[in-house]
Amino acid sequence: MVSEKIAALINEQIAHEQYAAQYYLSMSAWFSGKDLDGIANYFRVQSKEELMHADKMFDYLNDVGGEIIIGEIPKPPHEFANAIDIFEKALAHEKVVTKSIFNIVKKCQRRRRFRNYLVPAVVHQRAGRRGSQCFTAGDQNKNGKR
Ligand SMILES: [Fe+2]
């Protein structure tokens, strides 16, 4: 049985993942509106992956008998200055979600099963950050490499 404290963190994370899915879908819509279908598809795929992460956490919480409480998902922004603005916002959001996941991982060090659920999500977070960094000047190291 998972503690109420951990269950609350996982419920929050489910909401974060679902919000990320909405946010990336909104970004996809912006690119679709500009007939930039390739980039629109990139964000559509990101959106679906976020939903998959939410599903995995939902399943985990269900498996360990935690109470699942679906949180409210705020409406994401739909107006963006340009493509770079979107990638910068996507990168910033990936950082927030990554930090949140690592916070849970830290608090669940002894829960090997939960780590197994989370590893794909963590790997995705890193890939998502790299994907967004390809289009922004963010996160360069001292040598200018990302
Ligand atoms: Fe995610």
Give the number of other Cβ atoms within 10 Å of residue 99's Cβ: 10
Q: How far is the CA of 35 from the centre of ligand 1 (A)?
A: 26
Domain 4-133, classified CATH 1.20.1260.10, yes or no: yes
For the entire predicted model, the pTM comes to: 0.80
User: Looking at the predicted structure, is the pLDDT value of residue 146 above 70?
Assistant: no
The predicted-structure confidence for 34-87, as pLDDT tens digits, reads as follows 999 999 999 999 999 999 999 988 998 898 889 999 999 999 999 999 999 999
Question: Which whole number is the average pLDDT over 125-143?
Answer: 55
Distance 17 CA to ligand 1 centre (A): 5
- 50 Cα: distance to centroid of ligand 1 (angstroms): 4
94 C-alpha to center of ligand 1: Å? 8
User: In angstroms, rounded to a whole number, what is the distance separating the alpha carbons of residues 71 and 12?
Assistant: 7
Q: Is 107 exposed, middle or buried (0-12, 13-18, 19+ CB in 10 A)?
A: middle
CA of residue 106 to ligand 1 center, whole Å: 17
The alpha carbon of 53 and the centre of ligand 1 are apart by a number of angstroms equal to 5
